[in-house]
Amino acid sequence: MTPEPTGTATATRTRPPAGLSVWPASARVTAHGDVAVAGVSLARTAERFGTPLYLLDEDEVRRRCRAYREAFPGAEVAYAAKAFLCRALVHWIRDEGLGLDVCSAGELELAVTAGFPPDRVLLHGNAKTPEDLATALRLRVGRIVIDSAGEIARLAALVPHGDRQKVLLRVVPGVEAGGHAAVRTGTDGQKFGLSLTDGSALHAVSRVLGQTRLHLTGLHCHIGSQIPGTAPYLTALRRAVGALALIRDRHGIVLTELDMGGGHAVAHRPGEPAQDIRDLGALMRAALSEECAAAGLPVPRLTVEPGRALVGPAGVAVYRVLAVKRSGPRVFVAVDGGMSDNPRPALYGVRYAPRLIGRRSTAGPCAVTVVGRHCEAGDVLAADAELPADVRPGDLIAVPVAGAYQLSMASTYNAVGRPPVVAVRDGRARLLVRRESLADLTSRDIGL
């Protein structure tokens, strides 16, 4: 359909204040206290599409894709689809020359039916279902990442006679990194991968090499999420190269791929640390060359898998205030969304920087807790946030860095439908994913 103008492309704008540092680069404050992203008024978009609402800045996503390709020249950049996936995003990722990392038959089917080349897809998962594996083989994905010893024979038995499926083996390097215990995956004692420390990874290599229908091309190593520094990646890389050297010495084969995963931190609030992608790319490529030279190995093709770092800062969530309540010393600002569209504060303690939009306030700042509409005390979207002291029902609040792990983890708790997704570009807005209605929810309930 033809997008309708929704924006303020010609509106008077001021320079973005420091408070917009974690917003899309196109974000501007308008003369009336609104914020425009890609020339599109958030307040007018909320009136058109309703709230809660998610906006995604297409050019911001594309710009970040290109920044990764520039930071990792010659490497494969594969978007981690679990961060957020829809058909339009599949096209943007494909157009920018990236690969795709999926974790289920559902993500895979969505991507391929939207036109993504299956040979540029990797399938992950610590517990892949028979459907996941069968779909990957049917659609001929580029590589499947083996996560456990038991998966080796299971996968090999499904590969058609005469075919060979390319696989990577996920290894655990013994590196602790990540912004929360629930997203640290580089150490033993968690559910992902095979340990380099106890020998289980190298034992699995022998088993994969014994399967004639599997072609082991490399190792995979993902150490966690929301990692702002480079040191953990370099340590993991050195240990992975050491494993490549051991595999060559024991089996006489040289693996040609090394996938170092993603987990690159983004800032959710001004002043928080974020990963410097150019610095990380330069250091990882230099370390890979040096370590391989020292081990007498050819340099394998490097793969990185950013997810949040590509789409997180490109997204903005917009809510409408339903109630303002003072309870003792605390002020609660309740909005029309909550943990059903963003469970991350409840799961990981993530903190955001919400902003009043749609009107200019002269009131001073007030410390508030932005809460959702759901029947859970833990339904908190932003603790210890600052909003104008005159915030009131009917106001609009925008939350930046909303593009990743919000709608992809959303639920229909309290029978509340999931919000729509709207793409913004060049002063225009277009609907990508419609709002989930009560009819959508009740159509699945057939048990009378």
Residues noted as catalytic: 375
Q: How many CB atoms lie within 10 A of CB 384?
A: 11
- Per-residue tokens: 358: 């749609």
Instruction: Give Cα separations from 350 to 29, 49, 183, 325 (angstroms).
Output: 25, 27, 12, 23
Angle between helices 200-209 and 150-158 (to 10 degrees): 20
**Strand partners of residue 102:** 123
DSSP state, residue 83: G
**Is the distance from CB of 275 to CB of 309 less than 8 angstroms?**
yes
- 3 state DSSP class of 446: coil
CA–centroid distance for 242 within its chain = 29
- Per-residue tokens: 240: 């992975």
Name the residue type at position 158.
Answer: L
Any idea what the Cα angle at residue 219 is, between residues 215 and 224, rounded to 5°? 140
Any idea what the Cα angle at residue 147 is, between residues 275 and 346, rounded to 5°? 50
- Per-residue tokens: 185: 């995956």
d(CA 79, CA 85): 10
Question: Is-cis flag, bond preceding 52, omega within 30?
Answer: yes
Angle between helices 231-251 and 277-295 (to 10 degrees): 30
**Strand partners of residue 437:** none
Greatest pairwise CA separation for the chain in angstroms? 72
d(CA 292, CA 301): 12
Residue 362: phi, psi to the nearest 5? -100, 0
Output the 3-class SS for 217-238: EEEECCCECCECCCHHHHHHHH
